[in-house]
Amino acid sequence: MKKFGFINILILLVSLSYAQLQDTTIYIDEVVVSATRTARKIIDVPAQAVVVTASEIENFPVKNIDDVLKSVSNVYVNRSWGIFSKNSSVTMRGLEGSDRTLIMVDGVPKNKISGGAVNWHNINPENIERIEIIKGPASALYGNNAMGGIINIITKKPVEPVEGSVKVFGGQYNVFGGTTNLMGSNIKNDKGFYWGFNGLYRQGDGYVFELPENRDETDVQTYLQEYGAGTKLGYQFNKANSLEVIYDYYDELRGAGREVFEEGGSYNKYITNQTKLKYTGNFKNSSLNAIIYYNHEDYDAVKESLNDYDEYKLSDASSLKNDQGAWLTWSRKFFKNHYITIGGEVKAGGVIGDEIYRTSSDIIEYNGNISNYALFLQDEMNFNKFKVVFGLRNDLILFNRGEQTITNPTKATGFIEGFYESFESNQWNAISPKLSVQYALNPNSTLYASYSTGIKPPKLDDLCKTGKIRKGFRLANPELEPESLTNYEIGYNSAIFDNLILNAATYYSIGEGFQYLVGTGDSIDTGGSELKPILYRENVSKIRVIGGELSLKYRLNKNLNFSFSYSYNNSVILDYNISEDNPSKDLTGLYIVEVSPHLLYAGINWRNRYFVTNLNCNYVDSQWADDENTLLIEDYFIVNLRLSKTFLKSFNAYVDAQNILDVEYIDRKGQVNPGRFIMLGIKYSIILKNEI
**27-47 pLDDT tens trace:** 456 788 888 888 888 888 999
Interior/surface letters 577-588, b for 16+ CB within 10 angstroms, e for the rest: beeeebebeebe
One-letter amino acid of 317: A
Percentage above 70 pLDDT, the chain: 95
pLDDT at 224 over 90: yes
Around Cβ 5, how many Cβ atoms within 10 Å?
Answer: 10
**Domain around 241:** 2-688
Give the residue with greater pLDDT, 29 vs 461: 461
Question: Beta strand pairing status for 102-105 and 149-155?
Answer: parallel
Give the closest residue to 438 by CA, choosing from 377, 496, 382: 382
What local confidence, expressed as pLDDT, does residue 12 receive? 42
pLDDT at 347 over 60: yes
> Which pLDDT band holds residue 21 (cuts at 50, 70, 90)?
very low
Tell me the pLDDT of the chain averaged across its residues: 90
Counting the structural domains of the chain, the total is 1
Which residues, at least 6 apart from 100, have a Cβ–Cβ distance to it below 8 Å?
Answer: 91, 92, 116, 145, 147, 148, 454, 456, 483
Please answer whether residues 440 and 446 qualify as being in contact, where contact means their C-beta atoms are separated by less than 8 angstroms.
yes
Domain CATH number, residue 221: 2.40.170.20
Distance CA 285, CA 620 (A): 48
What local confidence, expressed as pLDDT, does residue 520 receive? 80
Please answer whether residues 74 and 92 qualify as being in contact, where contact means their C-beta atoms are separated by less than 8 angstroms.
yes
The mean pLDDT of 385-410, rounded to a whole number, is: 94
Strand, coil or helix: 433? strand
Please answer whether residues 407 and 362 qualify as being in contact, where contact means their C-beta atoms are separated by less than 8 angstroms.
yes
What local confidence, expressed as pLDDT, does residue 689 receive? 80
pLDDT at 413 over 90: no
Please answer whether residues 271 and 297 qualify as being in contact, where contact means their C-beta atoms are separated by less than 8 angstroms.
yes
Q: Rounded to whole angstroms, what are the CA distances from 571 to 220, 320, 593?
A: 37, 35, 9
pLDDT at 4 over 60: no
Distance CA 217, CA 205 (A): 18
Give the closest residue to 107 by CA, choosing from 231, 294, 290, 347: 290
pLDDT at 14 over 50: no
Question: 170 - beta bridge partners?
Answer: 176, 680
Distance CA 133, CA 75 (A): 9
Percentage above 90 pLDDT, the chain: 72
Please answer whether residues 620 and 666 qualify as being in contact, where contact means their C-beta atoms are separated by less than 8 angstroms.
no
Around Cβ 650, how many Cβ atoms within 10 Å?
Answer: 12
Is 335 buried (19+), middle (13-18) or exposed (0-12) by CB count in 10 A? exposed
> Which pLDDT band holds residue 9 (cuts at 50, 70, 90)?
very low
pLDDT at 247 over 80: yes
> Which pLDDT band holds residue 117 (cuts at 50, 70, 90)?
confident
Concatenating the DSSP letter of every residue in 187-207 gives: -BTTBEEEEEEEEEEEEE---
Q: pTM for the full model?
A: 0.93
Helix H or strand E encompassing 308 = none
pLDDT at 13 over 60: no
